[in-house]
């Protein structure tokens, strides 16, 4: 099983992304990745693939830790402190929710809260919110490749 992404690895990924895209856009991309990973973890748990779910949960935690480590407290003041608390709390809750009987639902609730933050960052970055993206696709949500493949196999869509 591959090693989980470390906080330093998440910071490095952010720094590489920030070198090619504006920092606020890089943050949105990281949120998008977290939301996909939480969705995949929920699905994996429901399908009994706990090892795959755990890998995704560890990646979510690493990204959230990475985001918490790039906060500029001098510029951000109280907002920076609130973001740090939000990232830290969500990291702990994501990890503690694993193996709980209602873990998939917990991950969906966590994702809903993080989606609101993602949309706030999208506004700052001049990117569309998730609702705007959904509307631009005629009401069809983007789904992780794994989910789309399973839906095609099972005849759902």
Label residue 49 exposed, middle or buried (CB < 10 Å: 0-12, 13-18, 19+).
Answer: middle
- Average predicted confidence (pLDDT) for the chain: 87
Whether residue 25 has pLDDT greater than 80? yes
Contact by Cβ (8 Å): 57, 94: yes
Q: Which residue has the higher pLDDT, 89 or 154?
A: 89
Q: pTM of the predicted model, to two decimals?
A: 0.78
């Amino acid at each position: 099983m591959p090693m989980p992404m470390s906080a330093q690895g998440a910071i490095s990924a952010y720094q590489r992304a920030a070198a090619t895209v504006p920092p606020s856009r890089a943050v949105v991309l990281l949120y998008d990745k977290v939301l996909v990973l939480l969705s995949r973890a929920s699905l994996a748990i429901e399908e009994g693939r706990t090892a795959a779910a755990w890998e995704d949960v560890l990646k979510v935690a690493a990204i959230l830790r990475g985001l918490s480590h790039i906060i500029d407290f001098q510029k951000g003041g109280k907002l920076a402190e609130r973001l740090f608390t939000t990232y830290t709390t969500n990291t702990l809750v994501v990890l503690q929710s694993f193996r709980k009987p209602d873990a998939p639902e917990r991950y969906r609730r966590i994702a809903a809260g993080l989606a609101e933050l993602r949309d706030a960052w999208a506004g700052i970055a001049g990117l569309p919110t998730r609702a705007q993206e959904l509307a631009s696709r005629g009401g069809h949500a983007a789904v992780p490749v794994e989910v789309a493949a399973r839906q095609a196999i099972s005849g759902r869509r």
